[in-house]
Amino acid sequence: MKISLIGYMGSGKSTIGPELAVLSGLDYYDLDAEIEKHTGYTITETIFNKGELYFRKLEREKLHEILAKDNFVLSTGGGTPCYYDNIDVINKNSLSIYLQYNVKELFERLKGNTAERPLIAHLEGEPLQEYIGKHLFERSTYYDKATVVIKAGKLSNLEILKEIKNYTHE
């Protein structure tokens, strides 16, 4: 089984992912962590020093590498499904699961928590919420292509895992 978690920044992909992998007896990959291992730099450093386009190319390369493996849970980055044909490649090679939250919920999860996120590190309060609103609207076209959509906003991590297991039971 191959599972890819997708969703906006702060949607808990990197928290749910490892737990799901353990519960399902699958390997775990975090796309950002794989990129960091490859470059030796943090994502923030890579985007700051080399630019976002360079980062997106690397992200795509690593995505293809991981999707070629078997038996894994992959936590993608928030932007991964929204570049190139990544969402189609994800859907073709794995069961994609979108952890969906509304703007207000994402704002609550992200506020005070932006330092390590280069796209929003400079934002807080009202401007942060406005940015999330616009950005989520743009990205939803891609996220909505996921095979499974979990409305995660009112669920605990355990409930999210239980819901995912309903779709991954083999």
The answer to whether 97 contacts ligand S3P (rule: CB under 6 A) is no
Is residue 139 part of an annotated ligand binding site?
Answer: yes
Q: Which of residues 14-33 bind ligand S3P (CB under 6 A)?
A: 14, 32
* Per-residue contact string for residues 75-94; x = within reach of ligand S3P by CB under 6 A: --xxx---------------
Residue 83 CB, nearest approach to ligand S3P (Å) = 9
The answer to whether 43 contacts ligand S3P (rule: CB under 6 A) is yes
Taking the C-alpha atoms of residue 19 and residue 49, their distance in angstroms, rounded to an integer, is 33
Residue 106 Cα distances to 7, 31, 101, 135, 144, angstroms: 10, 21, 6, 11, 16
Q: Kindly tell me which residue out of 3, 5, 6, 9 binds ligand S3P, with binding defined by CB under 6 A.
A: 9
DSSP state of 156: -
Residue 72 Cα distances to 49, 78, 144, angstroms: 31, 19, 22
Helix then strand then coil, in percent of the chain rounded to 5, is 55, 15, 30
Q: Which amino acid is at 129?
A: Q
* Per-residue contact string for residues 118-157; x = within reach of ligand S3P by CB under 6 A: xx--------------------------------------
Taking the C-alpha atoms of residue 133 and residue 110, their distance in angstroms, rounded to an integer, is 13
Residue 162 CB, nearest approach to ligand S3P (Å) = 23
The answer to whether 103 contacts ligand S3P (rule: CB under 6 A) is no
Backbone angles phi, psi at 109, to 5 degrees: -75, -30
Question: Residue for token digits 């616009």?
Answer: 134
**Residue ranges at the known binding site for ATP:** 10-15, 117
Instruction: List residues near ligand S3P by CB under 6 A.
Output: 9, 13-14, 32, 43, 77-79, 117-119
Which positions make up the binding site for substrate? 32, 56, 78, 139
